Amino acid sequence: MWRFLGGRIAMGALTIFVTTIAVTLLIHLVPGDPVQIMYAQSQGTTPEQLEEIRHNLGLDQPIYIQYVRFVGRLFQGDLGYTIRGHQPVLDVILQRLPNTIALAVAAMAVAILIGLPIGFFAAYKRGTMVDTGLMVVAIAGVSVPHFWLGLVLLLFFAVELGWLPVSGTGPLNLVLPAVTLGLSNAAIVARMTRSSMMDIMRQDFVRTAEAKGLPKSVILSRHVLRAGLIPVITMMGLQFAFMMGGAIVVENIFAWNGVGRMAVEAIFQRDYPVIQGFILTFAVVVVFVSILLDGVYALVDPRIRRS
Amino acid sequence: MTDTPVLDVRDLRIAFGAGRKAREVVHGVSFTVQRGEVVAIVGESGSGKSVTALSLMGLLPRGHGAVTGGSAHFEETDLITLAPEPLRRIRGARIGMVFQEPMTSLNPVLTIGRQMTEGMMAHGRVSERQAREAAIAMLERVGIDDGRRRLGQYPHEFSGGMRQRVMIAMAMMMKPALLIADEPTTALDVTIQAQILDLMRTLIAETGTSLILITHDMGVVAETADRVVVMHDGRVVEEADAKTLFAMPGQAYTRALLAAVPRLDGAVAGAVARPAGREPVVRIDSVSKTFGGRTGTRALDGVSLDVMAGEVVALVGESGSGKSTLGRAVARLLDVDDGAILVDGHNMAEMRGATLRRARARVQMIFQDPYASLDPRFSIGRTVAEPILIHGGGGRREASERAAALLQRVGLDRPMARRFPHEFSGGQRQRVAIARALAAGPKIIVADEPTSALDVTIQAQVLDLLAELRDEQGIALLFISHDLAVVRQISSRVAVMRSGRLLETGPTEAVLGSPRHAYTRALLSAAPVPDPAKRGRVRVTVAAGSYPDGPLVEAAPGHWVAS
């Protein structure tokens, strides 16, 4: 098991390494002079000032030197300074990251709490009208874009009924964005759970369990659910990455003060250090979550735990 | 034996599909099982034998199959009309079941202990501790020591034979009145099969449980059954005492079935040992291969073997003996660590790129599973024409013409070229695989268990076809098999392998008739004999490491034995 997890951690480190390279190159991918683009909106910057900024950002150095400096500073926890306001990028991100993680975790919880039982139930009722009905709803759920669902929920629960706040950042404010983000993922979880459970129900060992005369409830909860969860867990790692991506849209709809909203602002303002920091943070979170889920995976599947 | 049978099945009818599409697959089957009796239900695939067994347990695939008529009285209760809940209470507790696939019949994510005890706990008022004690005692009975520790392990920590022991222990610890075993040894090696059959016989005799043994293997029937029910196309063709059935089969179908069974004794039909060529087509020279790094398993350990033109050499051994690895190495589907394999005088291992691609035409393979080894999206005409096109056999038109001719040669109709693999039976698919192998114009065909997945009558046909091709086209054959009786029918020479070492090689009659190596003798004694009169003969067993496996020494002309 430790070897398995060690391999996953090494893979994660490699992913982050590749991301640092991509992030360094990012500035140069946009056509034109990055410093001019960054300061295009601020009038009256003199060429001398631009040159000084260029020097401060290290952009006058060869690209490999830039990279070494970037990584060197990274090890000291220094992601540079925001162009607007000149705050440390790390502080800005750390201040907002908990909000985004809270949103993603809450959305994941919504997705699992709704999707898993529906998928399991549909698999149990496979081939019936109930199954078909649930899956039609699930397909509709997958197809609905976040921004539309978010606006509809907002209109109904916040504007019409007034049950929940329209926007802002706080515990009650979390409900609508989490449901928005969670619902469409619940549909994916439901479909995945259904197909995984149906696959398990066809397995020989389920027939063995039936031949032992076990009650149906025991067969489903002990034999089917546990074995069927393994692929679902694998998928949740990928889901979480999508969830973080979805957070960017949802945070902007509900004015939720997370890194997603920050990233969009930074992109509009051409605030390169913030964008770089955001991408890197995003990668670290996704890698960390997938390693965490691999650990859970190993706990559920003895073939990995015992090897 | 008492007069009231444990199980009395009358006019059982089973249909697949529903409504208008319903298709009856079992047409009024009747048989009885007495207390303590072993009844074998034999038949080929599609005979309805497994479906009949599943229907008794109420385990027909939900929504697909259903009993449409008849009765099955078990201890005065009709299983067919019984409600689901009372039937569940009988399942496991009064009627146990053991399935064919020990690798997939246990839940991989639950401990053996949990899986063994849960049935007992669901049925009886026993505590978990009592159930565990019973499980440990039962494991010991089936020959698994250290039960306490074993109960905490998971299925993947057991070998196939061990898992089947666990399955039997699991079913028998509930002390059922009837045990249904559906092909319990089909997936196992002959030596393990012999052990499992012995074990089941002993347990049955001790507990007085009745056994329904479902199998396609006449050897297994002869070794185990008191009475035999022969099924064909969903009907009982014949029912008789085992001794009577083998001595005087009453029906033409039973006679055909028995005649198709390859035997280790008696005359071999049509095995005219054609004089082999002088030139070796394949020369295997002290080949070694280790899987999984330095600490890995040694699959091949200094193996040397020649195959002459037009000769059939059989490679026999249990799973893990390295026989398939050697076959794959000859086709260069894997690279060996050490040694050389010369095909037609050329070392395949040293070839690269286009030269290798051309050389590959000389060695072709046929695999065990005719379902998995054909591309489902290719028409079989295209499948067979592909090697012709790759190896430069002319244009598309010529290739498809030759493909059609080859299909005809292997006994299929030319128009079938337009059809797809799922439209063919297992035997027909294996014929397609043979045609595909021939299409490349090989010097040698490596056939890895080509008939193991086929029914006996189909197996006989495929073996005949291979023998014809050998005689007609002078193609050499490296025939990999675990079935000694099959080997005896087709091969002129045999090579016996275990744990990556060659232990004995020589003319087929010499090796199988007067084996010199202890392991060859053990293999021979484990092979089931389709003759109930020969039941209970002494089996030779050879523990790992207790036999000579050094360099081969010539014991008789052409007959080499490990020293």
Over residues A101-113, mean pLDDT? 90
Question: Percent of chain B, pLDDT > 70?
Answer: 97
* Distances B533 to B148, B371, B508, B524 between C-alpha atoms, Å: 40, 37, 25, 17
CA distance B452 to A253: 63
pLDDT digits (tens, 9 = 90+) for B147-180: 899 999 999 888 888 888 899 999 989 889 999 9
pLDDT digits (tens, 9 = 90+) for B4-30: 899 999 999 999 887 777 888 999 999
Query: B119 and chain A: CB distance < 8 Å anywhere?
Result: yes
Give the chain B residue whose CA is nearest to the CA of A224. Answer: B107
Residue B268 has a pLDDT of: 66
Over residues A75-85, mean pLDDT? 80
Q: Mean pLDDT lowest for which of A113-117, A222-226, A255-259, B480-484? A: A255-259
Question: Percent of chain A, pLDDT > 70?
Answer: 95
- Under the banding of pLDDT at 50, 70 and 90, the label for residue A307 is low
- Nearest CA of chain A to the CA of B425: how many Å? 23
Residue B331 is which amino acid?
A
DSSP E strands: which ranges in B254-296? 280-291
Residue of B118, B154, B178 for testing the chain A interface, max A β-carbons within 10 Å: B118
Domain A89-305 classification at class level: mainly alpha
Taking Cα atoms as reference points, which of B507, B447, B517, B440 lies closest to residue B483?
B447
Highest mean pLDDT among A151-160, A208-217, B528-537: A208-217
Q: Please, what is the Cα angle at A127 between A123 and A133, to 5 degrees?
A: 80
A214/B122 CB distance under 8 A? yes
Task: Name the residue with tokens 């007034």.
Answer: A162
- Under the banding of pLDDT at 50, 70 and 90, the label for residue B532 is confident
Average pLDDT of chain A to the nearest whole number: 84
- Nearest CA of chain A to the CA of B167: how many Å? 9
* CB B18 within 8 Å of CB B62: no
DSSP string, B443-485: SEEEEESTTTTS-HHHHHHHHHHHHHHHHHH--EEEEEES-HH
Over residues A245-250, mean pLDDT? 84
- Nearest CA of chain A to the CA of B428: how many Å? 27
Average pLDDT of chain B to the nearest whole number: 88
Residue A214 sits at φ, ψ, to 5 deg, of -70, 145
Residue B314 has a pLDDT of: 95
Domains annotated on chain B, with CATH? 7-260 (3.40.50.300), 280-362+446-456+473-562 (3.40.50.300)
- Nearest CA of chain B to the CA of A138: how many Å? 24
- Nearest CA of chain A to the CA of B101: how many Å? 8
Q: Name the residue facing B109 among A207, A214, A227 (closest C-beta).
A: A227
Over residues A63-75, mean pLDDT? 83
A205/B89 CB distance under 8 A? no
- Under the banding of pLDDT at 50, 70 and 90, the label for residue A306 is low
B104/A204 CB distance under 8 A? yes
A223/B106 CB distance under 8 A? no
Over residues B259-265, mean pLDDT? 84
Residue of B107, B114, B158, B170 for testing the chain A interface, max A β-carbons within 10 Å: B107
Q: Name the residue facing B93 among A207, A213, A215 (closest C-beta).
A: A213
- Nearest CA of chain B to the CA of A185: how many Å? 27
Chain B environment of A207 (Cβ under 8 Å): 59, 99, 105
Four-residue CA torsion sign, A120, A125, A127, A131: negative
Task: Name the residue with tokens 């099969």.
Answer: B193
Query: Is pLDDT of B275 > 80?
Result: no
- Nearest CA of chain A to the CA of B188: how many Å? 17
Residue A247 has a pLDDT of: 84
B91/A210 CB distance under 8 A? yes
Query: B464 and chain A: CB distance < 8 Å anywhere?
Result: no
Q: Where are the domains of chain A?
A: 89-305
Q: Name the residue facing B119 among A205, A207, A212 (closest C-beta).
A: A212
A302/B101 CB distance under 8 A? no
CA distance B525 to B194: 9
Chain A environment of B63 (Cβ under 8 Å): 127
- Nearest CA of chain A to the CA of B105: how many Å? 4
- Under the banding of pLDDT at 50, 70 and 90, the label for residue A246 is confident
Residue A205 has a pLDDT of: 92
Q: Name the residue facing A213 among B99, B119, B156 (closest C-beta).
A: B119
**Residue B17, Cβ density class (10 Å: 0-12 exposed, 13-18 middle, ≥19 buried):** middle
Residue B454 has a pLDDT of: 85
CA distance B525 to B530: 13
Residue of B97, B109, B163, B183 for testing the chain A interface, max A β-carbons within 10 Å: B109
Q: Which of residues 158-177 of B touch A (CB under 8 A)?
A: 167, 170-171, 174
Residue B447 has a pLDDT of: 94
Query: Is pLDDT of B538 > 70?
Result: yes
Residue B79 has a pLDDT of: 93
Task: Name the residue with tokens 């509709």.
Answer: A140
CA distance B216 to B41: 8
Residue B379 has a pLDDT of: 92
Query: Is pLDDT of B250 > 60?
Result: yes
* CB B221 within 8 Å of CB B136: no
Query: Is pLDDT of B1 > 50?
Result: no
Q: For helices A225-253 and A89-124, what crossing angle results, to 10°?
A: 130
Q: Which of residues 60-89 of B touch A (CB under 8 A)?
A: 63, 88-89
Q: Mean pLDDT lowest for which of B60-69, B239-248, B306-315, B321-330? A: B60-69
Chain B environment of A215 (Cβ under 8 Å): 88, 122
- Nearest CA of chain A to the CA of B6: how many Å? 18
Q: ipTM of this model?
A: 0.78
Enumerate residues 6+ apart whose C-beta is below 8 A from B514: none
Give the chain A residue whose CA is nearest to the CA of B116. Answer: A212
- B450 or A236, higher pLDDT: B450
Query: Is pLDDT of B386 > 70?
Result: yes
Task: Name the residue with tokens 């490349």.
Answer: B440
- Nearest CA of chain B to the CA of A221: how many Å? 12
Q: Mean pLDDT lowest for which of A14-23, A169-178, B181-190? A: A169-178
Query: B305 and chain A: CB distance < 8 Å anywhere?
Result: no
CA distance B397 to B403: 10
Query: Is pLDDT of B189 > 50?
Result: yes
CA distance B298 to B497: 13
Give the chain B residue whose CA is nearest to the CA of A217. Answer: B122
Taking Cα atoms as reference points, which of B41, B50, B37 lies closest to residue B6?
B37
Residue B74 has a pLDDT of: 93
Residue B267 has a pLDDT of: 66
Residue B170 has a pLDDT of: 92
pLDDT digits (tens, 9 = 90+) for A260-294: 888 888 888 878 888 888 888 888 888 888 888 88
Enumerate residues 6+ apart whose C-beta is below 8 A from B35: B1, B2, B5, B6, B177, B208, B210
Question: Percent of chain A, pLDDT > 90?
Answer: 13
B91/A222 CB distance under 8 A? no
Question: What is the interface size between A and B, counted as CB pairs within 8 Å?
Answer: 83
- Under the banding of pLDDT at 50, 70 and 90, the label for residue B3 is low
β-pairing, B501-507 vs B559-562, is antiparallel
Enumerate residues 6+ apart whose C-beta is below 8 A from A287: A12, A15, A16
Query: Is pLDDT of B515 > 50?
Result: yes
Q: Name the residue facing A213 among B92, B104, B109 (closest C-beta).
A: B92
Query: B99 and chain A: CB distance < 8 Å anywhere?
Result: yes
- B323 or B277, higher pLDDT: B323
